[in-house]
Structure 1
């Protein structure tokens, strides 16, 4: 859908960065605060506008690969990935501190034998486990950044996020200026924000200074310590208009307008972030977009409206980034607390998309795709007349893919069986016109590929 006002890339990415914050278990606005801190370091260094532009997006997207290791963290550490990640960001690389953290966070809700087995495995293979988790996260993040048309400099900054100045980082053990400048600034900004939010400006400066020469480039650490002596440097981090201030940090001469094609690329990139969170949802958003498009075409939607539906389908599950994989991947019945966490994800998706002017009209679909015509859905218990046709299309596509894909608790079922189950829910959970359109579209697609 075309808009009458210009939408800038910085506004879209800045708003979507909230989704990355919740995936990392960080207080909302973490990526924006890192961008504020890191960009001031870059400006103090005298970087050219093109370099500042790349640094800007490195800082906002540093965690874009973060969902890709969530399932593995749950599996290895028997832990809630959101809490684990939130806590680990404050840990230094000293062995005693790491061991204390792992003892406190591994298998807290598991049986004694299971917890001991996990601890033994971690003790024997800790280095390789850490390298694997970071490599997965950084490589996936760089791939997604490239798919969203960001420069190789941005991708490299994301790849180098967890490398340390003294060579003790991961995944390659790079040292000194082997580490890209953007990666060096992004890691330092990240640590500064984590400690600022926990203990204020002096705590942030003290932590960055203590890691200078180990984690951080000493020159950059000294520069941040100097900047941080001014209380006005930190004040915007707690202000309600931080998002506006961060948009203003992008070099004006290089601000990029977002057209419809670019919005599609951004939606597809964030759909990959969502689907990477669980091995059981790999490709889910893409498939839902395909099935929703089939339905929309059969219902005579215009090409422009079909594009909108595909975009809504790609982002319908963005709220799942705020749900722990210990819940998403559970092989068994969810308890009351776990089910409540699942039921929150549509509203979280609505909240995230509502922050973005260019995507705000998708928020209704994200927030209502688990509602039912009979009022027994979630999160609001809407009834038929309150659920628009766009949402009904995405809901139908979502249910079809859920039935025909593997899930933690069952294997994928044949298409014919999926349609039988969906037929039984017509009029209560599923719109009859949407299901009939899906069947026609699917038959047509099968005919083309036969």
Structure 2
């Protein structure tokens, strides 16, 4: 049945996943929301505008995974560290050059590093436009899919434009940049500099960029807000999440039916899968295979729907893993493997903070467990792994085998099923494998292949 849930509570928790992939501490988007909505009030925005601004600020980084793999490729670096450090660059040529020297191929040999650095400098403008366009356009598209307004989408799309026209990807000038974006970019810089250097450093940085990066009118509104000691106390408070939730414009609790929650899950699945070219469409395919198995096993429609939602979000923790690990073409070393393993823990942690998704959090955390106890992160064994998780795990492994990976090409369906059966009773539940096989036989056009048995 439909149940009453506050949209802000869902988006607040999901924004923490965006913080991870941007290399920011948990609560970065929440802090930006506190800063930006205070500016909106100072500018005298109405309730409808304030509500849309509120969600723009929470979701400003919605497209952030879309350029992660490309950053690793261009700069041969850890994308999460790269993004975190870049937020402290003021945009001047000298600062950008220093940043590139410190963050391009830092672990490579001197010759390779010099070559990569020269390429990055030569193609710097072109690379920047490409990376920002991908991020902003994808973020805007996902916001619309999640039923947010065109104004929210426009605020996300214009986030990296600068008031003087020096921003990207379109070089928009002045008030051609959506107001929400003008506020969000300033709020982002304030939040980052506040946590790195304190209130005065944040104020000074905003003052330095007045009229270049930032709209003078928005800067002036911020300066009025910044004069209030309580504003900074709240920004530093461990209760900031509760403060921001309590200040949601209109305090509007919405009736979220199952269709709406599905749209949110689908939208965030796009965020997850955009992290790596090798996982493009993975979450949606795992959801389809999960439902195929569940249908064959006679599960109810309500349970199947819950399972599909779990499948769409099971890898949300990968937003906290660098693409230098996710896309590595060879074997992972011990540290890289530990980083990869943590994604299941991250998934459970993120989902457990969302009341509407708390019932699927355990599946997110356990989808790499094995029946023989050799899985991770907890080494669960046998009956400790419930049927729903066994179904999801089977679908996840099957899709991983039948899709391209950095270290191998996709396997034929029959070969993938042979490998699943080899692990039957050890890693995977034989009943789930059998259900998958029956489903594929009945729907041999799924994903465009013809099933010929194993």
**Fold-level match, TM-score > 0.5?**
yes
Instruction: Please say if residues 209 and 222 of structure 1, whose CA atoms lie closer than 8 Å, have aligned partners that are also in contact.
Output: no
Structure 1 residue 186, shift from structure 2 partner:
0.4
- Give the Cα–Cα distance (whole angstroms) in 1 for the partners of residues 190 and 255 of structure 2: 31
- For residue 137 of structure 2, what is the aligned residue in structure 1? 139
Deviations 1:399-433 (A, max 9, x none): 00000000000000000000000100000100011
**Which residue of 242, 248, 251 maps to 1:244?**
242
- Give the Cα–Cα distance (whole angstroms) in 2 for the partners of residues 390 and 118 of structure 1: 47
Query: How do 1:33-432 and structure 2 match up within 5 A?
Result: 33-252=31-250, 254-432=252-430
Aligned-partner SS, 1:161: coil
Number of equivalent positions: 448
Q: Does 1:30 align with 2:28?
A: yes
**4+ runs of 1 displaced by more than 4 Å?**
447-450
Is the deviation greater in 249-258 or in 358-367? 249-258
Structure 1 residue 376, shift from structure 2 partner:
0.4
TM-score in terms of structure 2 length? 0.97
Aligned-residue CA RMSD (Å): 1.2
Aligned-partner SS, 1:6: strand
- Give the Cα–Cα distance (whole angstroms) in 1 for the partners of residues 255 and 237 of structure 2: 26
Deviations 1:114-145 (A, max 9, x none): 21121111121100100000000000000100
Q: Does 1:14 align with 2:12?
A: yes
- Give the Cα–Cα distance (whole angstroms) in 1 for the partners of residues 96 and 444 of structure 2: 54
Aligned-partner SS, 2:248: coil
Aligned-partner SS, 2:373: coil
Aligned-partner SS, 1:141: helix
Deviations 1:169-196 (A, max 9, x none): 0000001111000000000000000001
Structure 1 residue 447, shift from structure 2 partner:
6.6
TM-score in terms of structure 1 length? 0.98
Structure 1 residue 397, shift from structure 2 partner:
0.2
- Give the Cα–Cα distance (whole angstroms) in 1 for the partners of residues 236 and 437 of structure 2: 51
Is the deviation greater in 279-288 or in 203-212? 203-212
Gaps of 5+ in 2: none
